Amino acid sequence: MRVRLHHEGRNILAVSFLILLAINLFVWLVLRAAPAVPITVTVLSAIIFLLIVNFFRSPKRNFTGDRKNVVVASADGTVVALEEVFEDEYLHKNVIQLSIFMTILNVHANWFPVDGEVIYTAHHSGRFLSAYLPKSSTENERSTVVIRANNGQEILMRQVAGAIARRIVTYAQPGVEASIEDHMGFIKFGSRIDLYLPLGTEILVKIGDKTTGGITPVARLQSNDDKC
């Protein structure tokens, strides 16, 4: 089966391949009399390269469920936070925070959680604490994207860097159409995604649940009829 790679990883994969190739050529030339060492280095190099390939894989996903009012997971990973908080960057009100933690083994492309329109984006410098910690949402390097869903409700999505992740890429810009099936960004090497949803949203997952970006429904927004 052909592996589809994300364009964010092409340069890293090329450089990694050349570095590992140079190391292996050197080891085989210098230590060819003791083949156990070069063989070990080659095996370890192959494992390292395959891990990098695995990290940058970019599967094509199509959401086939009912799209009306649905909120879909923006990332592969594990639900690590689900609580009412006060969001003070843009929404300035109490909301439900739903956070998904990604390990280095997960796909790190990020999908839009709802269909709608991007109305706000901002990047914030910060620390590189473990993304599993709650305070990483406000203290770490992060990028914020607000989407006005098709039913008029505003959803805030935050990409959070972690102890290993050192680069957040955000494609979303104000005025861009958001679609559940499209990538809104990418985070390199371990991180988390926070979703801030209106109070009254029906939550479809619990802490510890595994999610698949662009596929797993995690919540359902109140319809306009429900709010009447």
Which tens digit of pLDDT belongs to each residue from 29-44? 888 878 888 899 999 9
Q: Which of 99, 136, 137, 191 is catalytic?
A: 191
- Report the pLDDT value the prediction gives residue 32, as an integer from 0 to 100: 80
- Report the pLDDT value the prediction gives residue 41, as an integer from 0 to 100: 92
Do 145 and 120 form a contact (C-beta atoms < 8 A)? yes
CA distance 44 to 39: 9
Residue 130: active-site member: no
- The pLDDT tens digits for 102-156 are 887 888 889 999 999 999 999 888 665 555 555 556 667 889 999 999 999 999 9
pLDDT at residue 61 is higher than 70: yes
